[in-house]
Every structure is written in C-alpha cells, then in structure tokens.
Amino acid sequence: MIESQILPIVIADQKETFFNKEKGVKRNIDFDKLLRNDRIIVITGIRRSGKSTLLRQIANKIKPFYYVNFDDERLFNFELSDFQELMLNFRKTGDADTIFIDEVQNVANWERFVRRIHDEGFKIFVTGSNARLLSSELATHLTGRYKKIELFPFSFTEYLDWFKLDIKNAGTINTARVLKAFDDYLSQGGFPEYIKYRDMEDLQSTYNDIIYKDLIARFSIKNQKAFKNLAAYLFTNFTKEMSYNSLKSVSGINNSNIIKDYIDYLQQAYLLFECFKYDYSLKRQNTYNKKVYVIDNGLRNSIAFKVSSDLGQLLENLIFIELKRRNKEVYFYRSKENYEVDFVIHENPVKLIQVCYSLSDDQTYKREIRALTSAMKDLNVKGGTVITYNETGNITEAGTTIEIIPAWKFLSQSSG
C-alpha cells in the first residue's frame, strides 16, 4: 500500500524527468499505424534497450497524457488497490485519455487495472522487461485486446541514424564511413547508452542488474554461483550446439531440468535465445541439441571470457538477432549428410541462410556451399543465401542460385 501523499510527488517528478530526457533516434516502427490501433500497446524488451525513449517518441505525438514508471523505489510497495488512488491523482493534473506505464511487471495483477481502464476508453501503452511474465498475464486477462512490440537494441539502420550516416549514399567517403560503423556495430552492439557514452561499465551494469534484480531476486535462485557460471558460459560459447546434459559439468549443476529452467529465465529477461534444429517432428526438435544466441554483441563482449578472435561467431549472432528483430521463425538445420546450415526461416517458401565471415579460403567455400546444397536437396528449396563480412556475388550450383551478400547490406534491407 502506498501512502497517498507520495503519489502526487512521484507523478510530478516522473513526468518532468520524462519530458526532459532526450527523444533519441527514431525507432524503425510505423508510428502512425501504432497510434491508429485501439488495442493496448505492450512494448517488451531487455533493460535499457530504449523502451522509455520509445514511449517519449510516441508521447510527442499525443497530448495530453498520464505517465507513471514503476521502476521507482518510491513505488516499491504499490499494490493493485493503489491504482484507484493513482487515477484520482492523475485526474487532478488535468484531463487526458492516454496513459503510459513503464515497467508495469513490477506491480502484481496490473493487467486487471489495464483491462478496466481500457474498457473505459483509455488508450494504454505499457512497457516491461520480462517476456514470460508479461505473456502469461496477457494471455490470461488481455487476450485479443493488445498488440505486442518486442524492442531490441538498435538495429544497424538505427545505429547509422544515430551517426547521421545515409547508407544510400554510394560515394566513396560515405561508404567507408558506413563500413567503419559496421565494424564498430559488429563488436560493440547497439545499446543506446553505450553508443552515447562508450563506457563498457554501462553494459556490465546492465548485465548485472538483469542477473541479480530481474532473475536471482525474482525467481529466488539459491545457487547463485552456478547460475552466474552457466550464464557466463553461454555468453562465451554462443552460436555453438549444446545439450542440457553437456552443461552439467561446466555449470556445476547436476540436474538438467534445473539447467533448462535457468536458461528459460535468461530467455525471459531477453539476455539470450535458444535456437532449435529444424525438424518436422516436434519431439525431435525438443530433444536435439540447441544453439544459443545472445541479445547483443557488445553486451556479450563486456562479460564473456574471450580467448581468440571470434568475428565469425559475432557475425552469426548479429544475423540471428536481426532475423528475430524482423519477427522471423528461425531454426538451424543439420542435413542428412550431417552438414549444418546456420538458419532456416520457416515461411512459405522456406529460406536458407549460411553465415560465413569470408569465402576467400577454398576449403571454407566448399564447406559452406556443400552444406547449403545438401539442405536444399533435403528440404526441396530452390536457392539459398550466404551472408559474409563484405563479399558479394551469385553462385550457380546444381541448377540453383546461391546469393552472396555483405552483412551490412543485408542488415540495411527492409526485410530478409
């Protein structure tokens, strides 16, 4: 329960802070379409990916509005019954029919309040940093009433916007600047605050906040050392196949079900994603090894144990996250001849994508093309794509065409 005299102070302070912060780079979202949508808009994503900034960009097109951020220690004891007092204090500030709610998952049963005021005619925007928590609440009480937007750290095009670089400018100087920006983006990622300040401690702080506040505290994880060891191992060994059983020895956790739960927690916080083998049998999908990708290369490099250059893994991870950003259903594939293709996009028709830093080495070229043609044969697919660091061209193989495209160009396309 919140003391009534606190709410007016919090509302005033938060709105002033909300207005005074920078509007930031415009995200690649159709704002007009979003504003025409009369459903509850739910914006989810990892901490510090820019959810509050996106709210400010939306709010800039809507006036007046009410705003509250539950990631505020003064609202730590806020309960469902306090929403009525919150609305009374909102109305004292003036009339509005739009409400922005930041980090809504910090209040139990929030969805009951949101559903009620939406039924009363309010336009509602909410943000949250926990995928599973929000999903369960949305499915239970808001089915059919909401539109969900998953916000990632900056895409490459948003990254270029930050530096006011136009990828369509084909001039030599501009192209060199774009390639330099891509080099930085590949290794340093797209977290807005890091791009602004270039302080590695910002990324480490984000990671630690998620591990301790969002996961260890929320899920009452007792074996904290083992949990942290597992997370660090997965960040270090991203893009590689692994099984829950194989993770026992490296994590110090003897129960594979606990490992599965811990990985699920990390996914809920958007730290990483599991990628399943493409198979028409769901049982085989679930029992086969998984691959793990992380939300951001910069975040990964800030905490992982690196022993050698891993540009190929960074490039593969970058492409996976971009595919997720584009709402693609992504798998990896191991052919009947036991060759691996990095990504299968499950749509009609199925798309095959291989990621390779360079095809200049003859042995690498043969391996990557052989894997693609083997998968094309298995899946009856009439073509494929190889994404490289900066190579381009087309290959005709067994009556099919394989496109080779530089990663920076792929990332700048509107769809993949």
Please report, for the chain, the start and end positions of each structural domain, with discontinuous segments joined by +: 6-151, 199-307, 320-412
Per-residue confidence (pLDDT) for residue 416, from 0 to 100: 45
Per-residue confidence (pLDDT) for residue 307, from 0 to 100: 61
Which residues does 139 contact at the CB level (< 8 Å), separation at least 6?
Answer: none
pLDDT < 50 positions in the chain: 416
Per-residue confidence (pLDDT) for residue 319, from 0 to 100: 98
pLDDT in tens, 280-317: 898 999 899 999 999 999 999 999 977 666 899 999 99
Residues 188, 194, 198, 204, CA torsion sign? negative
Residue with structure tokens 């609305």?
Answer: 87
The structural architecture, per CATH, of the domain 6-151 is 3-Layer(aba) Sandwich (3.40)
Per-residue confidence (pLDDT) for residue 397, from 0 to 100: 77
pLDDT in tens, 233-269: 999 999 999 999 999 988 999 999 999 999 999 999 9
Q: 376-381 contacts: CB < 8 A, separation 24 or more?
A: 376/352, 376/400, 377/335, 378/333, 378/335, 378/336, 379/278, 379/333, 379/344, 379/350, 379/352, 381/349, 381/350, 381/351, 381/352
Q: Provide the terminal-to-terminal Cα distance of the chain, rounded to the nearest Å.
A: 49
Q: How many whole angstroms separate alpha carbon 181 and alpha carbon 230?
A: 32
pTM of the model: 0.94
Where does residue 203 fall: left (phi above 0), alpha (psi -120 to 50 degrees), or beta otherwise?
A: alpha
CATH of 199-307, one of 1.10.10, 2.60.420, 1.10.287, 3.40.50: 1.10.10
